[in-house]
């Protein structure tokens, strides 16, 4: 057959047998594959990365965050999480852990580290006392208020200042006396053990759980913002969803500073 006549015949056939419209399935993209009946089926096309990010942002994500009030890495990660909660549907649950207990029994600690771990004990007791009196909803506000003075302003965390911070949070200022009271040390030990149990073994601070997938970290040398913060969250969620993923690490110099 002359090729021009073949093209005319083919076009005529297509005009009489138009392809069915592609069904509208919202965000999910599908296409209809023409051919024999066995192949005439809808095949999903994976959404683009930007679409996957949008889908994740609409789904409620449970976050469990284990922190020690004196840990600068936990402070950086917690500020990043709070920023993300402003435009994502996150259910963040705040839990206390203890660097003092994690490092208990180490004989090579410096004087600076000894004071740091002593403050870990003291502020851990204060957070427990505030939660004991006012409920777990006060965990994050008290942690945030303490951290602004400790990490951002670099204040000396005296009982007087801690009492003022508690009062700002609507908590009895006399609970600052818990800094030097070992009455809640058993509860602190239990809280710390829960962090290690969630992780599945000994681990440092912070510990982050995303829908029950728990990791030590993220270890941040600063507080990410804008697109970097969003991309980091998407990446961490992706890693948490991969059951074969265990660890990724690179060197860094010292803890973050926030002044």
CB atoms within 10 A of CB 160: 11
Alpha-carbon torsion 94, 97, 99, 100, what sign?
positive
Structure tokens at 90: 């996150």
Q: How far, in Å, CA of 84 to CA of 233, rounded?
A: 8
**pLDDT tens digit sequence for 132-153:** 999 999 999 999 999 999 999 9
208 and 77 Cβ atoms separated by less than 8 Å: yes
Burial class from Cβ neighbours inside 10 Å (0-12, 13-18, 19+) for residue 83 reads middle
Q: How far, in Å, CA of 221 to CA of 215, rounded?
A: 17
Walk across the sheet containing 213-216 and list its strands.
Answer: 90-96, 61-67, 207-210, 213-216
Region of 178 on the Ramachandran plot (φ > 0 left; ψ -120 to 50 alpha; else beta): alpha
State residue 27's pLDDT score: 33
**pLDDT tens digit sequence for 59-82:** 689 999 999 999 999 999 999 999
Q: 92 in helix, strand or coil? A: strand
pLDDT exceeds 60 at position 258:
yes
State residue 3's pLDDT score: 46
**pLDDT tens digit sequence for 6-25:** 444 444 444 554 444 433 33
Task: Give the residue from 92, 178, 164, 97 showing the smallest Cα distance to 130.
Answer: 178
State residue 28's pLDDT score: 29
CB atoms within 10 A of CB 219: 17
Global pTM value: 0.77
């Amino acid at each position: 057959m002359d090729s021009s006549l073949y093209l005319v015949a083919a076009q005529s056939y297509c005009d009489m047998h138009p392809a069915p419209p592609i069904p509208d399935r919202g965000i999910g993209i599908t296409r209809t594959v023409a051919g024999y009946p066995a192949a005439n089926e809808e095949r999903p096309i994976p959404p683009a990365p930007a679409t996957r990010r949008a889908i994740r942002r609409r789904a409620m994500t449970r976050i469990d965050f284990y922190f020690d009030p004196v840990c600068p890495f936990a402070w950086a990660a917690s500020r990043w999480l709070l920023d993300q909660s402003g435009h994502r549907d996150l259910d963040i649950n705040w839990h206390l852990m203890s660097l003092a207990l994690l490092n208990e029994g180490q004989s090579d600690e410096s004087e600076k580290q000894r004071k740091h771990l002593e403050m870990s004990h003291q502020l851990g007791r204060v957070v427990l006392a505030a939660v004991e009196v006012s409920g777990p909803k006060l965990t994050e506000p008290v942690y945030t208020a303490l951290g602004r003075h400790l990490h951002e302003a670099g204040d000396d965390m005296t009982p007087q200042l801690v009492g003022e911070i508690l009062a700002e949070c609507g908590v009895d200022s006399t609970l600052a006396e818990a800094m030097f009271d070992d009455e809640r040390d058993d509860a602190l030990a239990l809280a710390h053990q829960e962090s290690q149990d969630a992780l599945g073994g000994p681990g440092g601070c912070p510990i982050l759980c995303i829908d029950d997938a728990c990791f030590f970290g993220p270890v941040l040398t600063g507080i990410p913002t804008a697109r970097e913060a969003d991309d980091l969250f998407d990446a961490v969620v992706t890693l948490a969803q991969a059951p074969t993923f265990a660890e990724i690490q690179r060197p860094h110099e010292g803890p973050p500073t926030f002044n």
